[in-house]
C-alpha cells in the first residue's frame, strides 16, 4: 500500500519514516500543502494525509477526480474541511487523536500563568522594574474552576487540577460518570456564573459558535479568567476585547484566536498581519497569546503521524476506523 502525505514538516519526517516502515507502507511525502498545483500528485492514491489546510468544495472535487476517497487530517479539529461537500462527493474524512497530556498540561500552565500575572511580571522585569505593584496573584485552591468540555483533554485537565485543591465545575452535553468523583456537572449558565476561571475544551461546532459572547460574559464574575486551548470560534473576539478593556475579564490566555488561518505556523516577521484583533490582544498585559502550539510535543507529533497512517490503512483495508468522522 502507498500513502501520499501533504505538508510534511521536518519534525514529522522521522515518525513518517518509522511508522511507514513498521506498517509496510510506501510513503510519498510533499512539503507543500494541497493546492491546484499539488493536488494532481494525488492521482492513484485512494487515501491522503493533510494537516489544517482549508479544503473547500472545489479542492475536494479536484481530489475526487484524482481518485481520492479518504482524507485524514493530522489534527483533532477538522473544521478546515468542508464536510458537507465531502459527503456529497463521497469522500470520507478522518481526524486523529494524540496524547491528551500535551494540551491538558498546557491549559493548566496557562491557568497558573494567568492568575499569577506572569506576563506582566516578565515585562516589568525586562525593564528592570522589580517592584510588587500590580503583580499580586491568586492561589488555585481559592478558586472555582469551570471546565467547559469533558472529552479526553477536558477530563485530563480535571485530573491535573485535583492536586490543587480547587473547586471544579464541569459542563458537557455528554456527561462522564468517572468525572463526577472529581467535579460537579452543571449547566453552561451555572458554570459561567459560579466560576472564577473558565477553561474551554470544546470542539468547534455550530451550537457553540461564540459561546463566549457579550451576553455570557456579562453573566460571569467580575475579574473572570478565561483560558482557550480549543478553538478560536468559541469566543466572540469583539465582545472579548470590550470585556478586557472594561476590566470584566481580569486575565486570559489564548492559544487559539479567530481568523488565525494563514497566520499561525508561518514566519511573518516584518510583515503587516491582517488580523487587527490579534495585534490588540497581544498588547494587553493581562492576556497571554501563543500561536496554536498547545498540542506541540514530541509525543503528540508521533501520535498524529501514526494515527493518520493507521486511519488511511483502515480505510484502504475496509476495516473499522476509530478516527473516521461520521459526517452529518
Integer Cα distance of 212 and 218 in angstroms: 10
Residues with catalytic function: 231, 260, 292
SS3 73: strand
Domains located in the chain, CATH noted: 2-98+297-317 (3.40.50.720), 101-289 (3.40.50.720)
pLDDT of residue 183: 98
Residue ranges with strand state E in the chain: 2-5, 26-29, 47-50, 70-73, 92-94, 144-148, 167-171, 184-185, 197-200, 224-228, 249-254, 287-289
Integer Cα distance of 217 and 196 in angstroms: 12
Integer Cα distance of 31 and 313 in angstroms: 21
Long-range contacts of 7-13 (CB under 8 A, 24+ apart): 7/31, 7/32, 7/33, 7/34, 7/50, 7/51, 7/52, 7/53, 11/301, 12/74, 12/301, 12/304, 12/305
Q: What does the pLDDT profile of the chain (328 residues) look like in tens digits?
A: 999 999 999 999 999 999 999 999 999 999 999 999 999 999 999 999 999 899 999 999 999 999 999 999 999 889 899 999 999 999 999 999 999 999 999 999 999 999 999 999 999 999 999 999 999 999 999 999 999 999 999 999 999 999 999 999 999 999 999 999 999 999 999 999 999 999 999 998 899 999 999 999 999 999 999 999 999 999 999 999 999 999 999 999 999 999 998 899 989 999 999 999 999 999 999 999 999 999 999 999 999 999 999 999 999 999 999 999 998 7
Integer Cα distance of 34 and 30 in angstroms: 9
pLDDT of residue 261: 86
Burial 173-189 (b: 16+ CB within 10 A, else e): eeeeeebeeebeebebe
Cβ-contact 146, 199 below 8 angstroms = yes
In the 8-state DSSP scheme, what is residue 196? S
pLDDT of residue 258: 96
Amino acid at each position: 500500500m502507498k500513502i501520499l502525505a501533504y505538508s510534511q514538516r521536518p519534525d514529522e519526517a522521522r515518525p513518517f519514516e518509522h511508522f511507514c516502515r513498521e506498517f509496510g507502507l510506501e510513503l510519498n511525502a510533499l512539503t507543500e500543502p494541497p493546492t491546484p498545483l499539488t493536488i494532481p500528485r494525488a492521482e492513484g492514491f485512494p487515501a491522503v494525509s493533510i494537516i489544517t489546510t482549508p479544503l473547500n468544495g472545489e479542492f475536494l472535487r479536484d481530489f475526487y477526480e484524482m481518485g481520492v476517497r479518504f482524507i485524514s487530517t493530522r489534527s483533532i479539529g477538522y473544521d478546515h474541511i468542508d464536510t458537507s461537500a465531502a459527503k456529497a462527493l463521497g469522500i470520507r474524512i478522518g481526524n486523529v487523536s494524540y496524547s491528551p497530556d500535551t494540551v491538558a498540561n498546557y491549559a493548566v500552565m496557562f491557568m497558573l500563568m494567568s492568575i499569577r500575572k506572569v506576563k506582566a511580571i516578565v515585562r516589568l522585569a525586562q525593564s528592570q522594574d522589580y517592584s510588587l505593584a500590580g503583580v499580586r496573584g491568586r492561589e488555585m485552591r481559592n478558586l472555582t474552576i469551570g471546565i467547559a468540555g469533558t472529552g479526553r483533554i477536558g477530563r485530563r485537565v480535571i485530573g491535573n487540577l485535583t492536586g490543587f485543591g480547587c473547586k471544579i465545575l464541569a459542563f458537557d452535553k455528554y456527561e462522564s460518570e468517572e468525572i463526577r468523583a472529581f467535579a460537579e456537572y452543571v449547566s453552561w449558565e451555572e458554570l459561567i456564573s459560579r466560576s472564577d476561571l473558565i477553561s474551554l475544551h470544546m470542539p468547534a461546532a455550530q451550537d457553540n459558535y461564540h459561546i463566549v459572547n457579550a451576553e455570557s460574559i456579562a453573566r460571569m464574575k467580575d475579574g473572570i479568567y478565561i483560558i482557550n486551548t480549543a478553538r478560536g470560534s468559541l469566543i466572540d473576539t469583539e465582545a472579548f476585547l470590550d470585556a478586557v478593556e472594561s476590566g470584566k475579564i481580569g486575565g486570559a490566555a489564548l492559544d487559539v484566536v479567530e481568523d488565525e488561518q494563514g497566520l499561525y505556523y508561518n514566519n511573518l516577521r516584518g510583515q503587516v498581519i491582517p488580523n487587527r484583533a490579534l495585534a490588540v490582544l497581544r498588547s494587553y498585559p493581562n492576556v497571554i497569546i501563543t500561536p496554536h502550539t498547545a498540542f506541540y510535543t514530541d509525543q503528540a507529533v508521533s501520535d498524529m503521524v501514526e494515527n493518520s497512517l493507521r486511519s488511511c490503512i483502515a480505510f484502504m483495508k475496509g476495516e473499522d476506523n476509530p478516527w473516521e468522522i461520521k459526517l452529518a
